[in-house]
């Protein structure tokens, strides 16, 4: 007859025994947390096969984490079953039908405890654990389902580029995107997708254009230690230039986007010549026209900001006088 298992706990029961085993075993030290305990199943000593069952349930968060079941055949000075088999089946399936075998009658011939990796086999919809065995009256059998501790840790993050989604890898994230909070240098980001180990995030605007910034994640009541992540600067984009050309020693103003706000972090190349950057505005920079010598004609203009070259070029006219652009611009006053 199949006996439906009910939990039995006391100060001298399986709880204290399992705790001592977990702490003594490095594989189950502080890195583990107990999800569910079952037992003891007590043998009646009928001389016939006895059957037991127990429902196994995990949360949506836990079903994506590593999971192990440790079976204990006898403990605390009490004997185990002489032989025992353990099956894992979908809920509602009857004993004797096909299921995943977790331990057979040879599992405990050399030891009293075994651990089985059941990662990916359990779900929030539940599973049924079936146990069948034979032994002397009073023999005990029990189990403990464990997983990694839900410690929130950020391990790494793909490089950040404004407007691009990034992946954050770690442990202890919520499977519900709205339950994760992510910030870069204190600025909140949008969490688009999540599971317990990966977050897909859209970074905020206005981050540092290059270098390293601080990343912090909060989820399920915990906050990670900050880590530094790299920022990839967007390439400068050039929209216009005034004047279009001019003499050596004069000045031109280049308009565009994604320039560094620090003058000496911008390099302007006019053909093979380097133009000295004298000032930088919000969306523009001013530079001194280099001595283009006898080059003549037109030369390509490119801006390199934070080591990233512009994604397009403009054309500079090698002229002895300022040419084109805005005639009322300050540069023309120096002509």
Tens digits of per-residue pLDDT, 213-237? 899 999 988 899 899 998 887 889 9
Mark whether 12 and 127 lie in a shared domain. Answer: yes
Segments forming the whole domain that contains residue 242 = 237-334
User: Of 211, 231, 251, at which residue does a domain stop?
Assistant: 231
The tens digit of pLDDT for each residue in 161-215 reads: 877 899 999 888 988 999 999 999 999 999 999 988 899 999 988 776 667 889 9
Tally the domains of the chain.
3
> In which band, very low, low, confident or very high, does the pLDDT at 13 lie, cut at 50, 70 and 90?
very low
**Pair type for strands 227-231 and 222-223:** unpaired
Q: Which two tokens stand for residue 120?
A: 């990916």
CA 272, chain centre distance (Å): 44
What 3-state class would DSSP assign to 327? coil
User: Of 99, 114, 148, at which residue does a domain stop?
Assistant: 148
Angle at 283 between CA 280 and CA 288, to 5 degrees: 40
| 8 A C-beta contact, residue 85 and residue 48 | no
Rounded Cα–Cα distance for residues 120 and 8 (Å): 28
Domain harbouring 117, CATH code: 2.60.120
Average pLDDT over residues 275-289: 92
Mark whether 255 and 271 lie in a shared domain. Answer: yes
Mark whether 192 and 326 lie in a shared domain. Answer: no
| 8 A C-beta contact, residue 207 and residue 184 | yes
Mark whether 56 and 165 lie in a shared domain. Answer: no
What 3-state class would DSSP assign to 35? strand
Mark whether 62 and 11 lie in a shared domain. Answer: yes
Domain harbouring 282, CATH code: 2.60.40.10
CA 279, chain centre distance (Å): 41
Q: Name the DSSP letter for residue 78.
A: B
Average pLDDT over residues 6-11: 36
Mark whether 178 and 278 lie in a shared domain. Answer: no
User: Of 203, 231, 259, at which residue does a domain stop?
Assistant: 231
**Bridge partners, residue 132, by sequence:** 51, 85
Mark whether 118 and 50 lie in a shared domain. Answer: yes
Q: Which two tokens stand for residue 238?
A: 């050039």
Average pLDDT over residues 39-49: 92
What 3-state class would DSSP assign to 64? helix
The tens digit of pLDDT for each residue in 265-274 reads: 899 999 999 9
Mark whether 96 and 195 lie in a shared domain. Answer: no
Rounded Cα–Cα distance for residues 35 and 37 (Å): 7
Q: pLDDT > 70: what percent of the chain?
A: 84
Mark whether 191 and 260 lie in a shared domain. Answer: no
Mark whether 117 and 197 lie in a shared domain. Answer: no
Distances (CA, A) of 269 to 121, 173, 235, 289: 61, 47, 15, 10
Q: Which two tokens stand for residue 246?
A: 């001019």
Mark whether 162 and 58 lie in a shared domain. Answer: no
Average pLDDT over residues 147-153: 75
pTM comes to 0.45
The tens digit of pLDDT for each residue in 178-190 reads: 999 999 999 999 9
Mark whether 249 and 285 lie in a shared domain. Answer: yes
Look at residue 329 in the predicted model and tell me its pLDDT. Answer: 63
Sheet holding 32-42, edge to edge: 32-42, 140-148, 67-73, 113-117
């Amino acid at each position: 007859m199949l006996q439906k298992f009910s939990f039995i706990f006391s100060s001298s029961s399986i709880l204290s025994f399992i705790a001592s085993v977990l702490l003594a075993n490095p594989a189950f030290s502080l890195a583990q947390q107990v999800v569910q305990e079952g037992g003891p199943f007590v043998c009646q000593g009928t001389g016939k096969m006895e059957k037991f069952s127990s429902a196994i349930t995990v949360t949506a968060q836990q079903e994506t984490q590593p999971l192990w079941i440790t079976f204990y055949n006898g403990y605390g000075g009490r004997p185990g079953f002489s032989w025992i088999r353990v099956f894992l089946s979908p809920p509602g399936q009857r004993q004797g039908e096909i299921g995943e075998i977790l331990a057979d009658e040879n599992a405990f011939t050399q030891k009293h405890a075994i651990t089985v990796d059941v990662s990916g086999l359990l779900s929030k919809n539940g599973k049924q654990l079936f146990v069948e065995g034979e032994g002397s009256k009073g023999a005990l059998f029990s189990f403990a389902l464990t997983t990694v501790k839900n410690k929130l840790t950020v391990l790494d993050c793909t490089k950040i580029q404004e407007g691009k989604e990034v992946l954050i890898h770690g442990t202890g994230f919520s499977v519900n995107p709205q339950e994760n909070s992510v910030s870069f240098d204190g600025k909140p980001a949008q969490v688009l997708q999540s599971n317990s180990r990966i977050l897909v995030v859209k970074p905020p605007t206005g981050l540092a254009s290059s270098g390293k910034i601080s990343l912090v994640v909060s989820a399920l009541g915990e906050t990670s230690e900050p880590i530094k992540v790299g920022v990839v600067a967007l390439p400068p984009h050039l929209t216009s230039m005034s004047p279009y050309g001019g003499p050596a020693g004069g000045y031109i103003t280049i308009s565009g986007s994604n320039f560094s706000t620090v003058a000496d972090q911008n390099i302007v190349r006019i053909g093979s010549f380097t133009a000295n950057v004298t000032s930088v505005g919000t969306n523009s920079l001013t530079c001194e026209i280099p001595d283009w010598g006898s080059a003549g004609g037109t030369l390509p203009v490119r801006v390199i900001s934070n080591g990233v070259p512009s994604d397009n070029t403009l054309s500079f006219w090698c002229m002895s006088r300022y040419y084109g652009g805005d005639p009322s611009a300050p540069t023309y006053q120096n002509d």
